[in-house]
Amino acid sequence: MPLNEHGKQKVSKWLSTRAGELPCPVCAHNNNHIDMDLLAPVPVVLGSDGKFTLEIRRFAPLLAVSCENCAFARFFSAVKMGLTAEDYA
C-alpha cells in the first residue's frame, strides 16, 4: 500500500528531524531511496515439535530506506514513525 502525499511529507520530516543525514554504513554514499510501500515481515517461531512456523497473527509494519549506490536497506518502524491509515492512498 503506497504512501499518499501527506504520508510522504510525514516520513521525510520524521527522517530529517530524527535521523538526519543517513550515509550508507556499507558504501558511505548519501543518496537514499525511501520505499513508499509498507513491508510487513512475519515472525518465524520454533514450535514444540522442533519445526519452524509462521506467526501470521503478529507482524511489524516497516518502511524501507535503501542506498541508491549499493542497495543496502534499512528498515524503520511505521508505527514508531506515527504513520496511520490516513497516510496511505
- Give the DSSP per-residue string, 49-84: TS-EEE-TT----EEEEEETTT--EEEEETTTTT--
Q: In the prediction, which pLDDT does 68 show?
A: 96
Can you tell me the mean pLDDT for 55-83? 90
pTM of the model: 0.76
Can you tell me the mean pLDDT for 64-81? 94
Task: Tell which residue, 33, 28, 40, 23, has the closest CA to residue 78.
Answer: 40
- The span from the CA of 89 to the CA of 85, in Å, is 9
Show Cβ contacts of residue 20 under 8 Å, excluding neighbours closer than 6 positions.
none
pLDDT band with cut points at 50, 70 and 90 for residue 69: very high
* Residue 32, helix vs strand vs coil: strand
Q: What is the pLDDT of residues 4-62, one digit of tens each?
A: 999 999 999 999 999 888 899 999 999 999 888 888 877 788 888 999 888 777 777 89
